[in-house]
Amino acid sequence: MLLSKFWNTTSSIDVLISAGEALSVLDYVYIATYLTPAKTASRAYKVLKTPSLDSFTAGFAMSAASTGQVVKVRIMGIVPGFSSMTQGALRYASSTAGSLTETYEYGASLAGIAISSTELLVNTMNEQTAIPWMATRGFFLSGNGSPTVATSDKVTFSTDITAANTVSNPPTATLQAAGLTGNIGGYTMGGYTTAICLLANKTTYSTEITTAATTANLTAVRGASAGLSDRISGYVCGGITNQATAADTDLTDKVTFSNDTTAAQASANLSNVRGFSSGLGGGDTKGYVLGGGTNNTTVVVNTTDKLTYSTDVMAASTSTDLPTQSMHGSTNQGFTKGYFLGGLTGAAYTAAAYKITYSSDAIAAVTTANLTVATYSPFGMGDGGDNKGYSAGGFTGALVRVITATKTTFSTDTTTAQTSANLTYVRGQGTSFTD
């Protein structure tokens, strides 16, 4: 009765579509959309377990195909050819691309049910897909290198290698700008040039070229803001509006990526005025603004606010408050958890690492993930898929800038030196985002 109500057992439907990568028979696949990072829209790719709104699950490859070739995908009905399945067992997407498992892991999509040891009935009710937002590269733009520089580096996640990427150099050297990860480009928002500014720049992923995006300029000049994004919209939260008078703000602007426009979003304002906070995306549904300083950093706080993307509402999240007052740490974003690393606790630089568990909004110290050296204002990014993240550059002492990079491995909560990811130029207080 359950099968007849929710599963189609009477017919099969196959569609023909171009393969986005090499596919084998029985690979569990999805169709990329224009939102899917680093993929070609309307092509088939192997499914991983972690869900995202960037794509939708289609079904199973019924033929093999190389990249660009047409592949037959069964989106409804019975798929034969499996082996050693347990009859009646549900089969889920796994952490191996394109493969299935009977063991459910958090966020995994339900691919189908085994009706025999060799046949699988496709789940056609799978609105919640299992396609990860998995970054393949990250960008380190500009920063305080004495002087402020317009240098751009790119790190390739698959190789852990950072290299100069001059096509991404921003039009103007900027420090303490907020970074936003969009659907087709990354954004650098506000910061300091020769003075606090409201300028927006956009790095288009397909070309890696950075240009001014004047329609996305902030509503007012601001630097040292925190950036959050769900790949549909971005948020620039708080910051410093006048360094001379130590003026902080709680204001948040919202950037609509589809048309590169920015507007004030009062419902997303911070719970208190502050700058030098760090933004951490909490998966597809929420983001956190952690720590910061007021009165131009003379007062350091441990406050954390949480933004719910669906409602554009920001509110205090006391369960996620930093255990110690800190500002301008690195953040590494995963899908189920993220990290806040390093920063400045007042007069002291720190290497401390804190892990944020998104499902419970809980935060805890994780000493195994501490940075290798106490560092203030490093670049930071994660791959979005609970695999790894990087912290690079920053200050290890007064005016002591470094190029060194570390890698945080999510599965073990450990951070180690990653010299292949070192920056090409010493600097901190720059902007970072991923594709």
pLDDT in tens, 326-373: 999 999 999 889 999 999 998 899 999 999 999 999 999 999 999 999
* Pair (171, 116) in one structural domain: no
Please indicate, yes or no, if residue 215 is contained in any of the structural domains.
Answer: yes
pLDDT at 37: 67
Compute the average pLDDT of residues 112-116.
Answer: 91
User: CA 236 to CA 228: how far, in whole Å?
Assistant: 7
Please indicate, yes or no, if residue 376 is contained in any of the structural domains.
Answer: yes
Domains in the chain: how many in total?
A: 2
Compute the average pLDDT of residues 306-333.
Answer: 96
pLDDT in tens, 151-195: 999 999 999 999 999 999 999 999 999 999 998 899 999 999 999
* Pair (177, 303) in one structural domain: yes
pLDDT at 50: 54
* Pair (147, 108) in one structural domain: no
Question: Cα 328 to the chain's mean position, in Å?
Answer: 18
CB 279 within 8 A of CB 331: yes
* Pair (6, 146) in one structural domain: no
Per-residue pLDDT for 6 more than 50? no
| Confidence label for 131 from pLDDT (cuts 50, 70 and 90) | very low
40 versus 400: which is more confidently predicted?
400
| Residue bearing tokens 């990014």 | 381
CB 429 within 8 A of CB 377: yes
Contacts of 400 (CB under 8 A, 6+ apart): none
Range of the domain at 289: 137-434
User: CA 226 to CA 238: how far, in whole Å?
Assistant: 7
Please indicate, yes or no, if residue 130 is contained in any of the structural domains.
Answer: no
User: Among the listed ranges 124-133, 191-200, 352-361, which one has the minimum average pLDDT value?
Assistant: 124-133
Mean of all residue pLDDT scores within the chain:
90
Structure tokens at 15: 């569609």
pLDDT at 5: 37
User: CA 41 to CA 131: how far, in whole Å?
Assistant: 14
Backbone angles phi, psi at 221, to 5 degrees: -65, 140
Ramachandran area for residue 267 (φ above 0: left; ψ -120 to 50: alpha; else beta) = alpha
Please indicate, yes or no, if residue 128 is contained in any of the structural domains.
Answer: no
By C-alpha distance, which of 389, 376, 374 is closest to 421? 389
pLDDT at 284: 75
User: Three-state SS for 113?
Assistant: strand
| Residue bearing tokens 């929710």 | 6
* Pair (199, 268) in one structural domain: yes
In this structure, which amino acid lies at residue 414? T
CB 279 within 8 A of CB 314: no
User: Among the listed ranges 47-56, 389-398, 405-414, which one has the minimum average pLDDT value?
Assistant: 47-56
* Pair (200, 66) in one structural domain: no
